[in-house]
C-alpha cells in the first residue's frame, strides 16, 4: 500500500499571490504522441473494475473541466518556480505519459520499519481540479482515489522518482459552505507497487483506444 506522508491544507494570502512567477513556455508547443497513453489504459482498467461506468468519461477529460484543470495547473505551477514544469513526454513499452512537473522536496520518507530519513528527494508534481467533495478525502482516504494513485505509480515508472505530490483544488470544497479548497498530498510508492502497476498497464494496453486514431 502506498504511504501518505503529508497532507496539507493550503491557505493563500494576498502576499502569496504576489510571489507568482511567469511560466516559461516553449516557442512551439509539443504535441502529444499518437498511440496509447497511460490515461487511456487507466480509463479501460477503471471501467473493467467498475470504478467508471461503461461509456463514462474521466472527470478531467470533459472539455470545460479540462480547460479549468489546465488553468489550475498553470496557476499552481506559477506558485512554485523551483519546479521543472512540464518536463516532457516519456514513452515506455509503447505507452506515453506526461507529468505536470518534477521538483526536489525536503521531506521525511519511510526507509523501512521504524526508520525514517529526512533529506532532499525528487518528486513528481501533479495538479488536479475536481468537483468531488473534499469532506471524505482526508487522511488515508486519499489513497482510495485509485485513478490518481495508479497514474502516480505509472509516472514514477516513467520518470524515476518514488514520491508524487498531488495539488488538488476542490472547486466546491466540502459542499458545506467552505468555498474552494486546495489540499496537497505527498505519497511514497515502493518499487514493488510501481512494478505491479506498470504490469497492470502493459497487460491492458491493447484494450485502450490509441490517441490520434481515426
Q: Residue 144: give the domain boundaries.
A: 3-18+35-206
Q: Which of 108, 183, 106 is nearest to 142 (CA)?
A: 183
- By DSSP bridging, strand 101-110 and strand 181-188 are unpaired
Per the structure, the count of domains in the chain is: 1
pLDDT at 122: 96
Task: Kindly report the CATH number assigned to the domain that includes residue 46.
Answer: 3.90.320
pLDDT at 138 > cutoff 70: no
What digits encode the pLDDT tens for the residues 76-99? 999 999 999 999 999 999 999 999
Question: Distance from first CA to last CA of the chain, Å, rounded?
Answer: 39
- Does 213 reside within a domain? no
User: What is the rounded average pLDDT for all residues in the chain?
Assistant: 90
Its pTM stands at 0.91
Res 111 pLDDT > 90: no
Q: Is 101 exposed, middle or buried (0-12, 13-18, 19+ CB in 10 A)?
A: buried
The predicted pLDDT at position 214 comes to 47
Within a domain: 74: yes
Considering only residues 115 and 182, tell me which one the structure prediction assigns the higher pLDDT.
182
Instruction: Taking residues 144-171, report their average pLDDT.
Output: 96
Q: What is the mean pLDDT of residues 54-76?
A: 81
**What would the grid cell of residue 187 be?**
505519497
The answer to whether residue 65 is domain-embedded is: yes
Distance CA 58, CA 142 (A): 17
Strands (E), 81-195: 84-85, 90-92, 95-97, 101-110, 116-130, 163-170, 181-188
The tens digit of pLDDT for each residue in 175-195 reads: 988 899 999 999 999 999 999
Show Cβ contacts of residue 65 under 8 Å, excluding neighbours closer than 6 positions: 59, 129, 131
Residue 166 lies inside a defined structural domain of this protein = yes
Amino acid at each position: 500500500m502506498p504511504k501518505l506522508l503529508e497532507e496539507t491544507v493550503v491557505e493563500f494570502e494576498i502576499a502569496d499571490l504576489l510571489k507568482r512567477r511567469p511560466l516559461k513556455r516553449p516557442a512551439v508547443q509539443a504535441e502529444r504522441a499518437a498511440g496509447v497513453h497511460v490515461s487511456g489504459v487507466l480509463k479501460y482498467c477503471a471501467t473493467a473494475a467498475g470504478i467508471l461506468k461503461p461509456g463514462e468519461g474521466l472527470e478531467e477529460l470533459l472539455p470545460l473541466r479540462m480547460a479549468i484543470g489546465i488553468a489550475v495547473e498553470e496557476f499552481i505551477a506559477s506558485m512554485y518556480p523551483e519546479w521543472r514544469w512540464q518536463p516532457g513526454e516519456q514513452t515506455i513499452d509503447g505507452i506515453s505519459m506526461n507529468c505536470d512537473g518534477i521538483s526536489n522536496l525536503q521531506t521525511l520518507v519511510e526507509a523501512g520499519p521504524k526508520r525514517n530519513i529526512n533529506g532532499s528527494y525528487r518528486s513528481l508534481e501533479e495538479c488536479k481540479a475536481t468537483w468531488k467533495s473534499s469532506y471524505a478525502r482526508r487522511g488515508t482516504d486519499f489513497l482510495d482515489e485509485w485513478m490518481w494513485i495508479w497514474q502516480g505509480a505509472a509516472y514514477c515508472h516513467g520518470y524515476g522518482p518514488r514520491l508524487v505530490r498531488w495539488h488538488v483544488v476542490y472547486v466546491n470544497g466540502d459542499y458545506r459552505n467552505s468555498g474552494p479548497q486546495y489540499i496537497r498530498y505527498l505519497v511514497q510508492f515502493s518499487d514493488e507497487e510501481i512494478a505491479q502497476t506498470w504490469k497492470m498497464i502493459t497487460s491492458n494496453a491493447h484494450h485502450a483506444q490509441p490517441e490520434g486514431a481515426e
